[in-house]
A and B are shown apart, each in its own frame.
Chain A
Amino acid sequence: MKRDEIILGGFGGQGIILAGYIMGKGASLFDKKHATHIQDYGPEARGGACRTEVVISDSRISYPYIDNPSILAVMSQEAYTKYSPRMRQDTVLLIDENLVKPKRRKHNRLFAIPATRIAQELGRTAVANVVMLGFITAVTKVVSVEAMKQAVLESVPKGTEELNMKAFDRGYSYGLEKLKTAEGEGK
C-alpha cells in the first residue's frame, strides 16, 4: 500500500489551504486515487499560522492525520520551525526561498524555489501557492502533472485560469531544472 503524506505550511492569506485542496482534488478526481485533505486554521483570517495536510493512498484512508510527512512544503519561517522536526530521513522538503531560511545545514532532500518572487514577476503575489504546486508536482510527482493542472483550472476563480496556468508552469519547469542539476541541494 502506497501512502503519501504531505504537509503544506505557511501563513493565512497565502492560499495554503486552497493548495492542499487542489492537490487532494487532483489526486482523487483525476488520478483516481484516495485522497483526504485536512485543514487547520485559527481565528485569524490573515497572517496567522496555517497548515494543511493531504494524504494520498492507493487504498481507503481511515486515519487522515500525518505524524511524519513524506513531503513537507513550507512558505513561512514559522511553518518551517514548527514542522521540520517532524521530518523523516527521506522526507522531501520544499521551501519558498524568499520566505524560509533553513536552520540546519544538511537536509537530505531540500528543494528551494523563489515562489513568491516568481508570482510577483507574474504580477500577482496571490499565485505563489500555485507556483509552489507546480514545483511540488515536478519534484515529487505525488500527483500527475495532468491531474494537478486540471485541478488548478477547476479550482481557481473564473478569469484567472491563464495566470494560474502560467504560475503552475513556472513552478513546474523550475522544479524540473532543479531535478536535473541535483538530486536535492542538501547533497
Chain B
Amino acid sequence: MSRRGPLVGEFFMNGDIACAEGGISAGCRFFAGYPITPATEVAERMSSRLPEVGGIYIQMEDELASMNAILGASWAGVKAMTATSGPGFSLMMENLGLGIMLETPCVLVNIQRAGPSTGLPTLTGQGDMMQARWGSHGCYGIIALSPTSPQECYQHTIKAFNLSEKYRIPVLVMADEIVGHMGEKVVIPPPEDIPLTPRRKPTVSPEEYLPYKPDADLIPPMANAGEGYRFHVTGLTHDERGYPVMTAEAQDRLVRRLVDKIEKNKADIIEIEEDGIDGADVVVCSYGISARVSQFAVERARDEGIKVGMLRLVTVWPFPEETIRKIAKRIKAFVVPEINCGQIALEVERCAGGAANTILVPHMGGSAHRPETIIDAIRRAVR
C-alpha cells in the first residue's frame, strides 16, 4: 500500500466518494460512522483514505455514537465528519442538538433516501429537508447545503467545513441517493488553491478565557481540550463561562445568539444560482437533483416561448427569504419541484406572502421527477 495525500486532477467518481474526497481536501482527519445505504460509500471511502492521510476512521456502534464521536474529535482539535441517510439522520438529531449547543464545528453528510422509516433504502428522496432545519428539539440556526452533482458534493463538503469553523456550528450536506450514486467528472484543484477557514482560537490567557464570550459577529473563539484552558461546556443552557444557568433570561440570551449568529450573517452564508429571472412570468425554485431535472424542464418550456426563470438553492438553510420576497413581486408564480410532499414549497409560499402563487410539484420518492410533470406545472403557472 502507498500513502496518497489529497487527490489532485480530474477524476470520474460518484457523489458519495466526492463527499469523502471533499472532506480530505478540507482537512478532515476524523470520520465516525455507521454503514447505511445509500451513504455507505462515504464511510467506505473514508476507511481507506483517512489512514493514507494520517487520519482516523472509526465505525461506531450506531449513529448516536457516530455523531457524538465527531463532536468529541472536533473538541480535540481535529476536523471531523460523519455521513448517513434517513434512519441514521433521525438518530443523529439528538446530538446534532448537542453540537449546536456546544457550538462545535463538524460536518454531517446526508445522502437522502425515501422514508418514512426504512422506506426505500436504495432509492432517492428529499424528505429530510425540514428535519435538517428543525429535526433536533428546540430553536436554533442551522446551515444546510444541497449539491446537484459529484463535483458539488466535493465542493460543498469543503464549503461545509469552512462554514462550520467560521460559525462554530455543525453544517449539513443534504445530498440524495441519485447524486450520491451518480458518476461524473470531478475536478480537484491543488491543495494550495483550496481556501480553508481555520478555527478561531482564543486570544486571551486561560485565566481570562470565557468559552462562550462571543466576538462582535456573535461567534465565540474556541479552545480545544488539552490546551490548558480548563474550560467547562454543557448541553444545558449556559452563560459565557459555560456554566449552567436555569433562567429565562439566560435562555433568551443564549438561544437568541445561536439563532442570530446564522440569521445576521445570512448575506455571507447564503448562496443561490439565478437563471433568466429578469422578465420571467414564472420561476422554478428547486435544489439538489430536482434542480437538475427542473433546469431541463425550464429549457424545454422556454422552447415553447414561456418566460420562465430558474432559482437554484445552493444553501437551503438559512433560507433566502429576501430573494424570494423580491422575486415574488415581479412574477405570477413559483413552481417548486421537490422529492417530498411539500417542504421547501412551504417556505417559498411563506416568503412569497401572497404576492405570487406557489405551485408545489411533489414526488413521494424512489426516483426523480419526470421533466413533463414540471413542464406541465410551468404551463399551468403562466395560465
- Taking beta carbons and an 8 Å cutoff, which residues of A are in contact with B? 20-21, 24-25, 28-29, 34-39, 41-43, 62-65, 151
Total contacts A-B at CB 8 Å: 55
Does the CB pair B122–A41 fall under 8 Å? yes
Does the CB pair A63–B292 fall under 8 Å? yes
Report, as a range, how many residues of chain B touch the other chain: 10 to 19
Does the CB pair B184–A36 fall under 8 Å? yes
Q: Please provide the chain B residues from 185 to 220 with a CB less than 8 Å away from any CB of chain A in the complex.
A: 185
Does the CB pair A43–B121 fall under 8 Å? yes
Given that A29-B12, A43-B122 are contacting pairs, would A64 and B185 also be in contact in the complex, using a CB cutoff of 8 Å? no
Q: How far is the CB of A72 from chain B (nearest CB, A)?
A: 19
| B296 CB contact (under 8 Å) in A38, A41, A63 | A63
Does the CB pair B292–A64 fall under 8 Å? yes
Given that A29-B10, A63-B371, A65-B368 are contacting pairs, would A35 and B296 also be in contact in the complex, using a CB cutoff of 8 Å? no
Q: Does B347 contact A (CB under 8 A)?
A: no
In the complex, chain A residues whose CB is within 8 Å of the CB of B295: 62-63
Q: Please provide the chain B residues from 339 to 383 with a CB less than 8 Å away from any CB of chain A in the complex.
A: 368, 371
Q: Does B159 contact A (CB under 8 A)?
A: no
In the complex, chain A residues whose CB is within 8 Å of the CB of B11: 29
Does the CB pair A36–B293 fall under 8 Å? no
Render B116-141 as a binary contact track against A, CB cut-off 8 A, 1 for contact: 00000110000000000000000000
Does the CB pair B299–A37 fall under 8 Å? no
Does the CB pair B185–A28 fall under 8 Å? yes
Does the CB pair A62–B185 fall under 8 Å? no
A62, B122: Cα distance in complex, Å: 22
Does the CB pair A38–B178 fall under 8 Å? yes
Does the CB pair B185–A35 fall under 8 Å? yes
| B182 CB contact (under 8 Å) in A28, A36, A43, A151 | A36
Q: List 16 A-B contacts (CB under 8 A).
A: A21-B12, A21-B183, A24-B183, A25-B12, A36-B183, A36-B184, A37-B12, A37-B14, A37-B182, A39-B14, A42-B122, A43-B121, A43-B122, A62-B296, A63-B292, A63-B371
